[in-house]
Amino acid sequence: MLLATFLFNVMNVCVKLVSHIPSTQVVFIRSIISVSLCLYFLKKAKVKVFGNNKKILLLRGIFGGSALVLYFTTLQKMPLASAIVIHYTAPIFTTILTYLLLKEKVIKWQWAFLLLSFAGILLIKNFDARIDTIYLLMGLSAAVFSALAYTCIRVLRESEHPLVIVLYFPLVTMPVTGLIAAGNWVVPSWKDWLLLIAIGLLTQMAQLLMTKSYQAEAASRVASVNYSGIIYALSFGVIFFNEYFNWLVLTGMFVVVAGVLLNLLVSQKLLTAAKK
């Protein structure tokens, strides 16, 4: 999971380095690479490509694709660490959505952790002039769409092969982003092509490692390791983009992460205790 987190953050740097290319075009090229790799491995595994629950699979693709376009936009328009930390709120929204849609139990402490994370977001927004309100809202919307995609995955986990679930993400995204990108296409340089190809390959490798880590260890432990990404994000922001933060913004970032981690770790223990 540490390696997956590192690769995801290198991918984030690549996305920011091609900020002159529209996010829809970046997602389109990434989707072509992802579809090609998924189809190859599905064929090798002899798995039915289009799955069983096509309606939920399509919804997973729509939500995941929307989240990715919005997230890539915030990576390009906001400081790297800020965009990543805001996207880290996705599990908070997943908690709310599974409560509303799947009727999963939520205890009162989880609502407190949600408020703690949003207090951190307010600190980030109010003390960093580089963060425009529109991009903050786009970042939070990306987190909500990610949460919707995760909720679909939870519905699909019993009926679909993991590769099929992964495939529907770029399968739905590719034609939509392709049409949008065609109207505003930016011709990439050879350096841009290297970065765009790296985005596709890094994402695929990171997703594979992340999946294996979730298969090998308890989900709450694995998820907590994922949030080490804030260290990568802060470091890469300084090294590649000369991005520095005052102590109030840094406090806000760690408050957001603390709220999410408490929701993942402490709430799981409390829920387990409540069932006994």
pLDDT tens for each residue of 64-102:
899 999 999 999 999 999 999 999 888 888 778 877 877
What amino acid occupies position 38? C
Residues 128-153: what's their mean pLDDT? 91
**Which pLDDT score, from 0 to 100, does residue 30 have?**
93
Q: How big is the CA angle at 208 (ends 26 and 157), to the nearest 5 degrees?
A: 100
Q: Which two tokens stand for residue 254?
A: 């760690």
**Which pLDDT score, from 0 to 100, does residue 216 have?**
64
For residues 272 and 85, which has the higher predicted lDDT (pLDDT)? 85
What is the per-residue pLDDT across 44-58, written as a single tens digit (0 to 9) for each?
888 888 888 889 989
List the helix and strand counts (H, then E) for the chain.
12, 0
Going by pLDDT thresholds of 50, 70 and 90, the confidence category of residue 174 is very high
For residues 191 and 100, which has the higher predicted lDDT (pLDDT)? 191
| Tokens 């890094």 -> residue | 202
For residues 172 and 161, which has the higher predicted lDDT (pLDDT)? 172
C-alpha separations of 32 from 29, 177, 211, 217 in Å: 5, 11, 21, 31
Distance CA 238, CA 81 (A): 10
What is the per-residue pLDDT across 27-41, written as a single tens digit (0 to 9) for each?
999 999 989 988 888
Distance CA 116, CA 108 (A): 13
Nearest CA to 166 among 26, 39, 18? 39
**Which pLDDT score, from 0 to 100, does residue 97 have?**
81
**Which pLDDT score, from 0 to 100, does residue 207 have?**
78
**Which pLDDT score, from 0 to 100, does residue 28 have?**
95
Number of domains within the chain: 1
Name the residue range of residue 203's domain: 2-275
Encode 184-212: b = buried (16+ Cβ within 10 Å), e = exposed. Answer: eeeebeeebeebbebbbbbbbbbbbbbee
Residues 188-208: what's their mean pLDDT? 92
**Which pLDDT score, from 0 to 100, does residue 275 have?**
58
Intra-chain end-to-end CA distance of the chain, in Å: 31
pLDDT above 90 covers a percentage of the chain that reads 48
**Which pLDDT score, from 0 to 100, does residue 212 have?**
72
Q: Which two tokens stand for residue 80?
A: 């790297």
| Tokens 């999963």 -> residue | 104
Q: DSSP states of 230-269 as a string? A: HHHHHHHHHHHH-----HHHHHHHHHHHHHHHHHHHHHHH
**Which pLDDT score, from 0 to 100, does residue 18 have?**
96
| Coil vs helix vs strand at 18 | coil
- Whether residue 236 contacts residue 13, with contact meaning beta carbons closer than 8 Å, is answered with yes
pLDDT above 70 covers a percentage of the chain that reads 92
C-alpha separations of 221 from 224, 226, 232, 265 in Å: 5, 9, 19, 8
Whole-prediction pTM value?
Answer: 0.87
What is the per-residue pLDDT across 218-255, written as a single tens digit (0 to 9) for each?
555 666 777 888 889 999 999 999 999 999 999 999 99
- Whether residue 174 contacts residue 66, with contact meaning beta carbons closer than 8 Å, is answered with no
| Tokens 């389109």 -> residue | 28
**Which pLDDT score, from 0 to 100, does residue 221 have?**
64
Distance CA 6, CA 228 (A): 9
Distance CA 151, CA 101 (A): 9
In the chain the beta strands, taken as DSSP E runs, fall at: none
Q: DSSP states of 47-97 as a string? A: --TT-S-HHHHHHHHHHHHHHHHHHHHHHHHS-HHHHHHHHTTHHHHHHHH
